Amino acid sequence: MAGTVLGIFPPHCESTGTLSVPSTTTAFLPTIQSIEGSAAAANTIRQSSSLSLKKRGEGYGPPLDNISQTVGNTPLVKISDRIAPPGRTIYAKCEFFNPLSSVKDRLALSIIEAAEEDGSLKPGMTVVEATSGNTGIAVAMMCAQRGYPCVITMAEPFSVERRKLMRMLGAKVIVTPKAGKGTGMVEKAKELAEKHGWFLCHQFETDANWKFHYETTGPEICNDLKGMKFDYWVTGYGTGGTFHGAGKYIKENSPGTKIILAEPGAANLIGSGISTERNDDGSPASSHPAFNPHPIQGWTPDFIPLVLEKGLDQSIQDEMVDIPDGAAVQMAQALAKNEGILTGISGGATMWAAVETAKNAPEGSVLVAMLPDTGERYLSTPLFASIEADMNEEELEIARSTPNFILEPSGE
């Protein structure tokens, strides 16, 4: 697609037969020199690593024209044996390295560019879309960069920080009632587009969604694992674009790789075997009867998206995994505390599915799990419900261990 060349194949990418990681990765890696307090220890770790890293300070490459060119080329990061089962290797595809910190940056770029190319999006038009948050943030980014007014519809239960981020990017956010679920926000976006002549993104229906993942996400994974084993790829679904596009590419180029698709046990839409009723444009005509509310924001709306259905029709998936209640939050917290990887509830769900798959996989298996976004997008959700802002007793004890600058709790 026009305008995406630098975002897909930037000049700093290398093909060495080992993992190729963009230079931006090094800016976010933990300071290895702190391990054992010496640079020598860091050098040992670097030399023993299978990663092919650019030297810090070498730079990203030539300056870019705009923020959209930073979309894609996100790194694979190995998960330690504190989480990965013994004898199995799990890599996380860290989509929070995209400019607005989620996999949906890919979708927004693709939809906007495809619409510009076919003439359905003209200069000055307002862009409208329904979203649980990440797509809206990404669409707002693209609209800000290209000068389009942006209106987002979002159901009431989704985190308030997402609304604030979209408004920070210049978008208008229309919050729809909780009772309407995902179909309600979709219908509201459709109504607004028809009433005002706005461009509707149709993220759940457009082929531009999955095709961009076919052109970028799938090739990135296969290229970074070139010459290595690649036994399982694990993902969940929101629109189904990542699953459909990257999954299709992986199946064609690494046919021995099994594709694992996960969904919440509380919202077992695919597992129910019941189809979604559709309008003429492919959008959902009603809420799916198997849907129940679940905490994995961005995953599994109350309908089976058309983009997902088209992927399912090709039998891209080899296995389905149901995520039990609480597992996604627990795994996301474990990734933060054990790996220094701050991902959201959907990332925790995908990693839980990957770990469970790895437990039953042959020894020596290599798995890749998608981490769709950052944990910072979930501050007001169950992911952070157990994380206190004030000092706990253990922290107070540390504070009191020296005599000065002690902030005692109010009331004492």
Q: Would you please indicate which residues are annotated as catalytic (active-site) residues? A: 104, 346
Q: Pairing relation of β-strands 89-94 and 76-78?
A: antiparallel
Compute the chain's Rg from CA coordinates: 22
Q: Which residues pair with 258 in a beta bridge?
A: 232
Query: How far does CA 341 lie from the centroid of its chain?
Result: 13
What span, in angstroms and rounded, lies between the C-alpha atoms of 297 and 316?
24
Tokens of 255: 């046919």
What span, in angstroms and rounded, lies between the C-alpha atoms of 344 and 298?
10
What span, in angstroms and rounded, lies between the C-alpha atoms of 406 and 383?
29
Instruction: Report the 3 state secondary structure along the chain.
Output: CCCCHHHHCCCCCCCCCCEECCHHHHHCCCCHHHHHHCHHHHHHHHHHCCEECCCCCCCCCCCCCCHHHHCCCCCEEECCCCCCCCCCEEEEEEHHHCCCCECHHHHHHHHHHHHHHHCCCCCCCCEEEECCCHHHHHHHHHHHHHCCCEEEEEECCCCHHHHHHHHHCCCEEEEECHHHHHHHHHHHHHHHHHHHCCEECCCCCCHHHHHHHHHCHHHHHHHHCCCCCCCEEEECCCCCHHHHHHHHHHHHHCCCCEEEEEEEHHHCHHHHCCCCCECCCCCECCCCCCCCCCCCCCCCCCCCCHHHHHHHHCCCCCEEEEECCCHHHHHHHHHHHHHCCCECHHHHHHHHHHHHHHHCCCCCCEEEEEECEEHHHHCCCHHHCCCCCCCCHHHHHHHCCCCCCCCCCCCC
Inter-residue contact 73 to 13 (CB < 8 Å): yes
What span, in angstroms and rounded, lies between the C-alpha atoms of 245 and 369?
15
